[in-house]
Amino acid sequence: MYSRFGSRRSLARVFTCVSLALACSAAWTGSALAQSAVPASLTPGEATHVVAALKASGTQIYICKRDANNKLSWAFKAPSAELYDASGELIVTHSAGPTWAAADGSKITGQVLQQAPSSDQPDSIPLLLLRATNGAGPGLLSTVRYVQRLDTHGGAAPVGPCTQEGQEGRSPYIAEYVFLG
């Protein structure tokens, strides 16, 4: 019975390692859910189910423009991110529009409905609720009606001043995107 693991001691080590891995996984999942509390203002009443919840990693792109006082300042231009499922597989890309395009060919554009500050990360981009518009193609995103951007870290305008009109700045960020049907 123990020949595959060599001894009872080896079998005990395997069970200990598996138990430890499961405990760490449960602890991480619990803390991730606690950090992703959704403000009521970002919860649409008409959404019936979660189509996908994906982790994003990318950049927020800013451009140096003149503001109302004719001073140079950073203005948001577009996002550029990749969204991954729990197994680490790239599922969706996120770009200007804002637009989300799934690997299966489905695509949506979003319209911002509500914003809320990232309370855990004050120097981060805000949490968002967007209405899905201009859907295209059958697939994962075809039934999405709303998108939530949650648990944001980073992505705020560059700290340093912009010095030349048209200059581009990028700020890395991570977030969770929840697609609701």
Q: What is the pLDDT of residue 32?
A: 39
Per the CB < 8 A criterion, the answer to whether 181 and 144 are in contact is yes
Per the CB < 8 A criterion, the answer to whether 100 and 108 are in contact is yes
% pLDDT > 70, the chain? 80
Q: What is the pLDDT of residue 14?
A: 32
Q: What is the DSSP letter of 6?
A: S
Q: What is the pLDDT of residue 5?
A: 39
Q: What is the pLDDT of residue 36?
A: 54
Q: What is the pLDDT of residue 121?
A: 81
pTM higher than 0.85: no
- Average pLDDT value for the chain: 83
Burial class (CB in 10 A: 0-12, 13-18, 19+), 22: exposed
Q: What is the pLDDT of residues 154-175, one digit of tens each?
A: 999 999 999 999 999 999 999 9
Q: What is the pLDDT of residue 144?
A: 97
H or E element at residue 31:
helix 8-35
Over residues 24-47, mean pLDDT: 60
Q: If you write DSSP's letter for every residue of 56-125 in order, what string do you get?
A: EEEEEEEEEEE-TTS-EEEEEEEEEEEEE-TTS-EEEEEETTTEEEETTS-EEEEEEEEEE--TT-TTBP
15-19, 30-34, 41-45, 112-116: lowest mean pLDDT where? 15-19
Residue 69 pLDDT more than 80?
Answer: yes
Q: What is the pLDDT of residue 24?
A: 31
Q: Where are the domains of the chain?
A: 1-35, 40-180
